[in-house]
């Protein structure tokens, strides 16, 4: 492309396949909202949309829209197009098998699947099978960019994007799955010329899917009729910011057909809480390497920086490909390689930045951490940190002092979450980079709940205190409070128990499981606390997560032991690279402790040797009585081990 081109789309009435369009929104503070809309009374962060035609009588609010996109600008366009037009986004993961994607689409009742050319063949098969509609984003961008190249972009400035702020106060925004299936439109058999001809017949800033076509076009911008615009605004009386924003599937908590629904208000509150707690400013730059079907990648690492005015840069190999400027212009800008500096990084504007890698690559991550002057925040899961340590040991160890000096002076924050952080890994990372990883705790249904302080003590193995706006409670067997706390402090109500189930309450919580009112009700106490299913301990002013009550708390010989604490000790063994500890049914002990281990290259260890070694480190009842050595520990996209599946696979008799 010879020039910078802005592309503005809005996504309308996806379910009825009349008009659809894709555009970008920014999150703005109240002052910005007031400037845009003097009548706005919304507090905190809400979406602001500009420069797209509003066809109010063609919008079907709160439809589910599934999408499968790479980790680049296309994901952002698809997700925010849903939000702009009042739909509910259902992100999918390309690592999931087709039957799981089919489940996502059919279970969420998605009316449309948006994808890119990269996944078009796979999604087309899915759509043919279940009869859903499909929209290919590459075709949209290709035609629209050719039509708008060289035109007077100023002619587009009069269009307002999105709905009234009140809509986002009560509307649902997201249903997050972590597995899925669908029903989509018939495959488009029209030629490209025919599809372009049909699209060009519409004089508006829109994408067209007329029942047969999967392409869209930006035209020269005829103003929509006032009556149509008024019709759109009138519709907002029936939907609100507490309506769904996202649909998210939780790993390991619910059965296959449960999707967690998150509202705009919940996402807004989560973002505000993290921006406050972690001190996001316009001078920060974050490197994004996480999957975008999970709350960690969507909210913590993408939405937070964009909410305070980020620029998104998508890395395609060694050069910048696409950047999205989340500013009052709300524009999508394509750049070419001529704008790159000699070291491969674009001359960056003086504002916060989010760099997205299409997939995790340890060498590329180290390159950014050490070379990209703007990157000063990094967030990942323990598995990624482990891979980065391996890359360091293999290729960067001769630059030990340089690596430590750059990381300790340039990077202000490194965060670990989504899985327990092994102590040996944390210590080694601190040795390499000079950073004590900030551990935090959260889940899909709650958003982020607990976090170590940005400034102050970070105690290894602990996840700090409640984040702003979040209340927590450690409860006993009958949900009686043992410890209660919020961001201002914690109160020990009872000392009868050292630990108990962690409960959460606050505006960050999900709205419920989609179409599962009974399942939703079971996850809450009578007084409104959400049951996390995790066992926690409050000790010396900080919270510690001991693990999933169902699989990580092992009851053996009358004792309750934490599988995570045993794993922490086993990972200090000189021969063990990775491990997972599970409880197996036993007639004598109730449960026996079993260790599944991945050994370091060239190492061996027997059960008797491991038990002997454990005597000085673990109580006798916590020492493994079963050892299984395997080549690779199976994990999900967020680096978690599904222990129930692990037991079924390796210990089928114990799983009966």
What is the pLDDT confidence band of residue 309, given thresholds at 50, 70 and 90? Answer: confident
Extract the tokens encoding 186: 């018939």
Domain count, the chain: 3
pLDDT computed for residue 140 by the predictor: 53
Are 275 and 383 in the same domain? yes
Kindly list the distances between the CA atom of residue 257 and the CA atoms of 253, 611, 641, in Å, as whole numbers in the listed order: 11, 41, 20
Are 556 and 454 in the same domain? no
Q: How far apart are CA 551 and CA 648, in angstroms?
A: 13
| Higher per-residue confidence, 101 vs 415 | 415
pLDDT computed for residue 234 by the predictor: 22
Q: Is residue 400 part of a domain?
A: yes
In the three-class reduction of DSSP (H, G, I as helix; E, B as strand; rest coil), residue 7 is classed as coil
Phi, psi (deg, nearest 5) at residue 41: -125, 15
pLDDT computed for residue 354 by the predictor: 79
CB atoms near residue 354 (< 10 Å): 26
CATH classification at residue 421? 3.40.50.12780
CATH classification at residue 602? 3.30.300.30
H/E stretch holding 99 reads: helix 98-108
**What's the predicted TM-score (pTM) here?**
0.72
pLDDT computed for residue 638 by the predictor: 72
Are 307 and 403 in the same domain? yes
Q: Is residue 348 part of a domain?
A: yes
Q: Which of 451, 468, 485 is the last residue of a domain?
A: 468
pLDDT, tens digit (0-9, with 9 covering 90-100), for 310-345: 666 665 533 333 333 233 222 233 333 333 343 444
What is the pLDDT confidence band of residue 529, given thresholds at 50, 70 and 90? Answer: very high
- Highest average pLDDT, of 45-49, 303-307, 457-461, comes from 457-461
Q: Is residue 317 part of a domain?
A: yes
What range defines the domain where residue 558 resides? 551-654
pLDDT computed for residue 165 by the predictor: 58
Are 457 and 564 in the same domain? no
Are 442 and 574 in the same domain? no
In the three-class reduction of DSSP (H, G, I as helix; E, B as strand; rest coil), residue 435 is classed as coil
pLDDT, tens digit (0-9, with 9 covering 90-100), for 391-439: 999 999 999 999 999 999 999 999 999 888 988 899 999 999 999 999 9
Q: Which of 430, 445, 468 is the last residue of a domain?
A: 468
Are 306 and 439 in the same domain? yes
Q: Is residue 474 part of a domain?
A: no
Extract the tokens encoding 474: 């450690």
Q: Which of 453, 468, 483 is the last residue of a domain?
A: 468
CATH classification at residue 47? 3.40.50.980
pLDDT, tens digit (0-9, with 9 covering 90-100), for 532-565: 999 999 988 899 999 888 888 898 887 888 898 8
CB atoms near residue 149 (< 10 Å): 13
DSSP-derived letter for residue 338 is: G
Mean of pLDDT values over 32-43: 33
pLDDT computed for residue 315 by the predictor: 57
pLDDT, tens digit (0-9, with 9 covering 90-100), for 130-159: 888 888 876 555 544 343 333 333 333 333
Q: Is residue 320 part of a domain?
A: yes
Phi, psi (deg, nearest 5) at residue 246: -130, 155
Q: Is residue 175 part of a domain?
A: no
pLDDT computed for residue 656 by the predictor: 55
Q: Is residue 199 part of a domain?
A: no
pLDDT computed for residue 538 by the predictor: 93
471-475: strand order across its sheet = 489-492, 481-486, 471-475, 499-505, 530-539, 542-548
Are 464 and 556 in the same domain? no
Are 563 and 460 in the same domain? no
pLDDT computed for residue 496 by the predictor: 59
Q: Is residue 123 part of a domain?
A: yes
């Amino acid at each position: 492309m010879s020039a910078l081109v802005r592309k503005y789309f809005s996504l309308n009435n996806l379910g009825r396949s009349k008009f659809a369009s894709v555009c970008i929104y920014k999150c703005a503070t109240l002052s910005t909202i007031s400037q845009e809309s003097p009548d706005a009374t919304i507090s905190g962060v809400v979406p602001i949309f500009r420069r797209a035609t509003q066809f109010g009588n063609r919008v079907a609010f709160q439809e589910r829209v599934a999408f499968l996109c790479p980790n680049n600008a296309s994901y952002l366009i698809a997700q925010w197009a849903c939000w702009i037009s009042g739909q509910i986004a259902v992100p999918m993961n390309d690592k999931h098998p087709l039957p799981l994607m089919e489940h996502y689409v059919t279970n969420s009742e998605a009316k449309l699947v948006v994808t890119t050319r990269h996944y078009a063949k796979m999604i087309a098969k899915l759509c043919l099978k279940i009869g859903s509609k499909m929209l290919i984003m590459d075709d949209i961008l290709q035609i629209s960019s050719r039509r708008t190249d060289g035109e007077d972009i100023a002619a587009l400035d009069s269009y307002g994007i999105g709905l009234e702020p009140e809509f986002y106060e009560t509307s649902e925004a997201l249903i997050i799955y972590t597995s899925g299936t669908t029903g989509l439109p018939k495959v488009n058999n029209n030629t490209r010329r025919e599809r372009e001809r049909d699209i060009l017949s519409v004089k508006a800033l829109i994408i067209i899917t007329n029942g047969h076509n999967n392409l869209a076009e930006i035209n020269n911008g005829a103003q929509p009729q006032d009556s149509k615009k008024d019709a759109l605004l009138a519709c907002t009386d029936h939907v609100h910011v507490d309506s769904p924003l996202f649909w998210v599937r939780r790993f390991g908590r619910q059965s296959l057909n449960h999707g967690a629904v998150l509202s705009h208000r919940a996402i807004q509150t989560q973002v505000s809480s993290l921006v406050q707690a972690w001190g996001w400013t316009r001078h920060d730059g974050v490197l994004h390497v996480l999957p975008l079907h999970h709350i960690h990648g969507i909210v913590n690492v993408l939405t937070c920086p964009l909410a305070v005015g980020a620029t998104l840069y998508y890395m395609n190999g060694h050069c910048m490909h696409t950047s999205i400027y989340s500013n009052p212009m709300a524009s999508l800008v394509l750049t070419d390689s001529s704008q790159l500096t000699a070291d491969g990084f674009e001359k960056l504007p003086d504002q916060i930045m989010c760099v997205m890698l299409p997939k995790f690559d340890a060498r590329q991550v180290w390159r950014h951490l050490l070379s990209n002057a703007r990157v000063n925040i990094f967030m990942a899961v323990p598995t990624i940190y482990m891979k980065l340590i391996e890359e360091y040991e293999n290729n960067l160890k001769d630059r030990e002092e340089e690596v430590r000096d750059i990381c300790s002076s340039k990077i202000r924050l490194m965060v670990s979450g989504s899985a327990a952080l092994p102590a040996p890994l944390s210590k080694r990372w601190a040795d390499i980079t000079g950073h004590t990883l900030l551990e935090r705790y959260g889940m899909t249904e709650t958003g982020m709940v607990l976090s170590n302080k940005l400034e102050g003590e970070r105690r290894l193995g602990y996840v700090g205190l409640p984040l702003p706006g979040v209340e927590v409670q450690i409860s006993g067997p009958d949900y009686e409070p043992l410890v209660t706390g919020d961001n201002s402090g914690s109160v020990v109500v009872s000392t009868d128990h050292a630990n108990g189930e962690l409960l959460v309450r606050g505006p960050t919580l999900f709205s419920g499981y989609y179409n599962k009112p009974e399942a939703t009700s079971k996850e809450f106490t009578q007084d409104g606390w959400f049951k996390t299913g995790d066992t926690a301990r409050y000790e010396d002013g900080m919270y510690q997560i001991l693990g999933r009550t169902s699989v990580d708390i092992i009851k053996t010989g009358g004792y309750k032991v934490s599988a995570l604490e045993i794993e922490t000790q086993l990972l200090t063994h000189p021969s063990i690279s990775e491990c997972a500890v599970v409880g197996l049914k036993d007639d004598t002990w109730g449960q026996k402790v079993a260790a599944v281990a991945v050994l370091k290259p060239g190492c061996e260890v027997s059960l008797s040797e491991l038990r002997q070694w454990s005597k000085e480190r673990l109580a006798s009842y916590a020492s493994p009585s079963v050892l299984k050595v395997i080549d690779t520990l199976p994990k999900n996209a967020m680096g978690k081990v599904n222990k129930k599946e692990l037991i079924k696979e390796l210990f089928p008799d114990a799983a009966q």
